[in-house]
Amino acid sequence: MPKDALPRLRLTPPDPFPKLVPQSNIQVYIMQAPTLRDVYEAKKTIAPYLPRTPLQHSPGLSKRLDAQVYLKHDEHLPLGAFKARGGINLLAHLSQEERDRGVITASTGNHGQSIAQACRIFGARAYIVLPRGANPLKVAALRSLGAEVIFHGDNFDEARAHCDRLAKEEGYRFVHPANEPLLIAGVATQTLEVIEDMPDVEAIFMPLGGGSTAAGACIVAKTISPDIQVVAVQSEEAPGGYLYWEQGKEVEAPTTTFAEGLATRVGYDLPQSILRQHLDDFVLVSDDEIRCAIGVLIEEAHTLAEGAGAAALAGALRRPELVKGKKVSITVSGANTTLPQLLEAVKVYQGRN
């Protein structure tokens, strides 16, 4: 077997685990944290629609960080981002009546693409509310997936509030970007793949916007092995999730980061309830550190990432003591960057190296 080849571990989920139970009178799911069993069920649900993404060793990053660094390449998914996992898992579990009413959500782009793609697969109408000035590549992708795009507000949280109003007025099935157990279970399949492919992983670095991915990582990693360290990374120019995690309550924060996938004004209750119990560490990084991480990924790992997709690496570069000497998985969550964002990132990276 080649030195860097990874044997795949076959994990058996613990039994019994409680199920997600639909409340039939109002057609929503009880908002309780998903379990490892729910993640295994999500894996089966998603498998016909999405390929497994590679976990690849990076010699360049390993040398730079003095660790055994592996990149989890979720930017290889068809939508160019990890969010596709959650949308398919959620739409697969909606009733036909919910699908017929139409599904609405707010997004900065990748979550919206996930819901739009899943709606197309399962025959539901998709309405996506975005802030004005949203990433034009993501807007174009949403329209190509058949979604009706609605612009409102100057930031994600204003768009989300408008989305909530429309859902109540028009009777659409509202999909919260993070307070959805089925979304969390879906995106958690990413971490399940990491541990199946690399059972001796010691640390997992995740970007954090709404918190669903990091929360899903905690559910999987801490159930399988409490010794696996899970670290979340967020921009210090949009620290709403960090402040909730630190203070235990919703705290409004600015959202001036260029990395739209991290630009949430506040933390969300369901993922935060998981993170505050299980997350090992939380790293804030500057936007320029994220831009530098984009450059590092290009030069050291031949990998293209958007701002949120490079955030996890930026956290490892900011806090190298958290990875030194360890076997580490760093998630590249998406590659939907614009050319101006990429050019600015390369400029900053070259200026620092």
Domain ranges of the chain: 22-82+182-352, 84-178
Fold classified for 84-178:
Rossmann fold (3.40.50)
Residue 274's pLDDT is what?
97
Return the SS3 of 173. Answer: strand
CATH number for region 22-82+182-352? 3.40.50.1100
CB 207 within 8 A of CB 307: no
At 304-333, the pLDDT tens digits run: 999 999 999 999 999 999 999 999 999 999
The low-confidence residues of the chain, meaning pLDDT below 70, are 1-30
DSSP string, 77-93: STTSBTTHHHHHHHHHH
**Domain 22-82+182-352 matches domain 84-178 at the CATH topology level:** yes
At 11-43, the pLDDT tens digits run: 444 433 334 444 333 344 457 899 999 999 999
Amino acid at 347: K
Return the SS3 of 196. Answer: helix
Q: Which residues are catalytic?
A: 83, 333
